[in-house]
């Protein structure tokens, strides 16, 4: 299993837009073979940092998801909205392997 951890720097004045974007990606990741562990939005502390975690059975499965998402109508529409509204300032992606009980 491989887990992708994403750290977002977001525009805190567009949190509603980011939340709608995040909710849509929850379903897309699941539909394309992954397991989404959720988005974690600002609450206390920094108002412009958000995180998400999602997993795929293997790095090859993650790469397949990335390839399909490039042409998937729902994901391309979300990216187009992001580019237009600019509610994500930047992001960092890390890949982790879980150590489970």
pTM of the predicted protein model:
0.89
Assess whether pLDDT exceeds 90 at residue 99.
no
Please name the residues in contact with 81: beta carbons below 8 A apart, sequence gap of 6 or more: 17, 21
The tens digit of pLDDT for each residue in 55-79 reads 999 999 999 999 999 999 999 999 9
Sheet holding 35-40, edge to edge: 35-40, 49-56, 2-10, 88-96
* pLDDT number for residue 9: 97
Cα–Cα distance, 81 to 86 (Å, whole number):
8
């Amino acid at each position: 299993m491989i887990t992708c951890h994403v750290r977002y720097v977001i525009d805190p004045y567009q949190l509603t837009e980011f939340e709608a974007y995040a909710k849509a990606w929850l379903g897309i990741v699941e539909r394309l073979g992954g397991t989404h562990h959720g988005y974690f939005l600002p609450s206390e502390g920094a108002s412009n940092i958000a995180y998400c975690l999602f997993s795929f059975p293997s790095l090859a499965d993650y790469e397949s998801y990335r390839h399909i998402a490039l042409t998937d109508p729902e994901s391309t529409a979300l990216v187009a909205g992001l580019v237009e509204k600019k509610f994500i300032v930047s992001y960092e992606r890390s890949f982790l392997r879980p150590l489970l009980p």
